[in-house]
């Protein structure tokens, strides 16, 4: 088979790789139909990854068709069309059975495509461990494009907005308007936000948020504008989706007393000077952490079927997998209005 493999900063190659096999009786093999590149994949591409490993297949967002299953797999059959949530766990502990893979009690939490320990999904064929839990049949009424976005980006956006305690009538800020940030704007409106401020330095992304009904703001003016428009009270809910210190600093300056900051940006810094005294005095709630995806899907399937969320609209480009190196370059450079790229077999 061939796959997109990471060999160093700015060096992702479409190259041959050993075919995956059924390593346990719980595994399944999936033929990739479409996959996509996440912002955390760009951290790897830029050389600030999650492992010192090289040569592994990258990627953790994909849909495809079951082509083989282990003898212990019960819920799946060859030919089933499935989506692959980015996070995995043991599949048997209490937390995994609740859908919270990233709290796996067996400490088996992992993401595809961060190292050779669990190969990624940007390949012709890939292995899914504990397949009954980690390969989810695409439900009727959900398209392949929608399912692809639900494997990580849309689920993470929804999780981040819920973690921000967004209630009906709230005014909300989303800081960082990559695909997840834009989906967070949509999610905030669906959860009843009256006003959503969308903050990003890129004009095209602010314009995209404006088309969704948000008030677009450049970071240079966002704090002053929101203080003025809120009568100095600032905002009860802020979602940070950029993954850098400047965005996190801004989120903490935009939140009101007693408000909530939800962090879903993939931060690489090992330390952050958190304003503990100010946060304590203001009674802030501060939440961060990675999304397990599985526990968001029941709500999201219903919202997507009803047309209230349309994550597929953020797929701006389509390319064959063999052009994956160019897709990574395009995303890293933010060229041609790119948001999400669907890479196809």
Structure confidence by residue, pLDDT tens digits, 70-113: 999 999 999 999 999 999 999 999 999 999 998 999 999 999 99
Q: What is the dihedral of CA 303, 305, 311, 313, to 10 degrees?
A: -140
pLDDT at 141: 96
Task: Pull the structure tokens for residue 101.
Answer: 């893979």
Q: What is the CATH number of the domain that holds 231?
A: 3.40.50.720
pLDDT (average), residues 219-231: 94
Residue 126 predicted with pLDDT over 90 = yes
Any idea of the CA torsion for 16, 22, 26, 31, to the nearest 10 degrees? 40
Residues 163 and 93 both lie in one domain: no
What pLDDT is recorded for position 265? 87
For the domain that residue 330 is a member of, what is the CATH number? Answer: 3.90.180.10
What distance in Å separates the CA atoms of residue 322 and residue 324, rounded to the nearest whole number? 5
Rounded CA-CA distance 141/5 in Å is 34
Residues 213 and 328 in one domain: no
pLDDT value, residue 5:
98
Band of pLDDT at residue 276, cut at 50, 70 and 90: confident
8 A C-beta contact, residue 314 and residue 290:
no
Q: How far apart are CA 27 and CA 10, in angstroms?
A: 32
- 111 and 30, same structural domain? yes
Classified as helix, coil or strand, 91 is coil
Residue 24 has pLDDT above 80, yes or no: yes
pTM above 0.85, yes or no: yes
Model confidence at 274, in pLDDT bands (50, 70, 90)?
confident
* pLDDT (0 to 100) of residue 119: 97
| pLDDT value, residue 282 | 85
Provide the domain limits for residue 55: 2-152+293-344
Spell out the SS3 assignment of 195-252.
EEEEECCCHHHHHHHHHCCCEEECHHHHHHHHHHHCCCCCEEEEEECCCCHHHHHHHH
Instruction: Judge whether residue 266 has pLDDT over 80.
Output: no
Same domain, 37 and 131: yes
Are 107 and 73 found together in one domain?
Answer: yes
| Judgement on whether residues 123 and 228 belong to the same structural domain of the protein | no
141 and 161 assigned to the same domain:
no
pLDDT at 281: 85
Strands of 104-162 (E only): list them. Answer: 110-111, 125-128, 136-137
Q: What is the mean pLDDT of residues 189-202?
A: 97
Q: Which tokens sit at 343?
A: 């890479």
pLDDT at 50: 82
pLDDT band at 291 (very low <50, low <70, confident <90, very high): confident
Q: Reduced to 3 DSSP states, what percent helix, strand and coil does the chain have, rounded to the nearest 5?
A: 35, 25, 40
Distances (CA, A) of 42 to 22, 49, 301, 344: 29, 8, 27, 19
Q: What is the pLDDT of residue 25?
A: 97
**Do 25 and 140 belong together in one domain?**
yes
Q: Tell whether the model's pLDDT for residue 280 goes beyond 90.
A: no
Asked if the model's pLDDT at residue 210 lies above 90, the reply is yes
CA distance 232 to 122: 47
Mean predicted confidence (pLDDT) in 226-234: 91
Give percent of the chain above pLDDT 70: 99
List Cβ neighbours of 335 (8 Å cut-off, separation of 6 or more). Answer: none
One domain for residues 198 and 136: no
Q: What is the mean pLDDT of residues 8-25?
A: 96
Q: How many CB atoms lie within 10 A of CB 169?
A: 10
**The pLDDT of residue 48:** 81
pLDDT for res 329: 96
Which residues are within 8 A (CB) of 150 and not within 5 positions of it... i.e. 6 or more apart?
Answer: 83, 142, 293, 297, 300, 301, 304, 311
132 plus 204 within the same structural domain: no
Give the total number of structural domains in the chain.
2
Q: What's the token pair of residue 131?
A: 């397949």
Q: Are residues 309 and 231 in the same domain?
A: no
**Beta-carbon contacts of residue 185 (< 8 Å; ≥ 6 apart):** 174, 177, 196, 198, 209, 212, 213, 214
**166, 171, 306: which is closest to 228 by C-alpha?**
171
- One domain, residues 134 and 186: no
| 304-344 pLDDT, tens digit each | 999 999 999 999 999 999 999 999 999 999 888 999 999 99
Note the pLDDT of residue 72. 97
Q: Please state the rounded mean pLDDT for residues 209-235.
A: 95
Cα(254)–Cα(238) distance, rounded to whole angstroms? 7
């Amino acid at each position: 088979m061939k796959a997109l493999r990471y060999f160093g900063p700015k060096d992702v190659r479409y190259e041959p790789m050993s075919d995956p096999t059924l390593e346990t009786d719980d595994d399944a093999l999936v033929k990739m139909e479409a996959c996509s590149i996440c912002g955390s994949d760009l951290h790897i591409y830029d050389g600030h990854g999650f492992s010192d490993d090289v040569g592994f297949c990258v990627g953790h967002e994909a849909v495809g068709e079951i082509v083989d299953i282990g003898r212990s797999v019960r819920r799946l059959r060859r030919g089933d069309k499935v989506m692959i949530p980015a996070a995995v766990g043991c599949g048997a502990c209490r937390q995994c059975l609740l859908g919270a893979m990233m709290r796996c009690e067996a400490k088996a939490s992992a993401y595809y495509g961060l190292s050779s320990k669990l190969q990624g999904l940007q390949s012709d064929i890939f292995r899914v461990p504990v397949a009954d839990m980690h390969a989810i049949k695409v439900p009727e009424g959900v398209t392949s494009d929608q399912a692809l976005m639900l494997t990580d980006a849309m689920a993470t956006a929804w999780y981040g907005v819920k973690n921000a305690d967004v209630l009906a009538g709230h005014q909300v800020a989303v800081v960082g308007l990559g695909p997840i940030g834009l989906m967070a704007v949509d999610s905030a409106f669906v959860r009843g936000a009256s006003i959503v401020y969308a903050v990003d330095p890129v004009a095209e992304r602010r314009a995209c948020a404006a088309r969704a009904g948000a008030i677009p703001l450049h970071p240079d003016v966002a704090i002053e504008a929101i203080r003025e428009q809120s009568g100095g009270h600032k905002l009860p809910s802020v979602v940070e989706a950029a993954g850098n210190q400047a965005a996190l600093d801004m989120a903490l300056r935009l939140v009101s007393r007693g408000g909530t900051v939800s962090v879903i940006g993939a931060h690489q810094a090992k330390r952050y000077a958190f304003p503990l005294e100010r946060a304590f005095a203001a009674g802030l709630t501060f939440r961060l952490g990675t999304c397990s995806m599985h526990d968001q899907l029941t709500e999201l399937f219903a919202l997507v079927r009803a047309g209230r969320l349309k994550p597929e609209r953020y797929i701006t480009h389509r390319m064959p997998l063999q052009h994956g190196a160019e897709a990574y370059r395009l995303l890293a450079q933010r060229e041609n209005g790119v948001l999400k790229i669907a890479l196809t077999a």
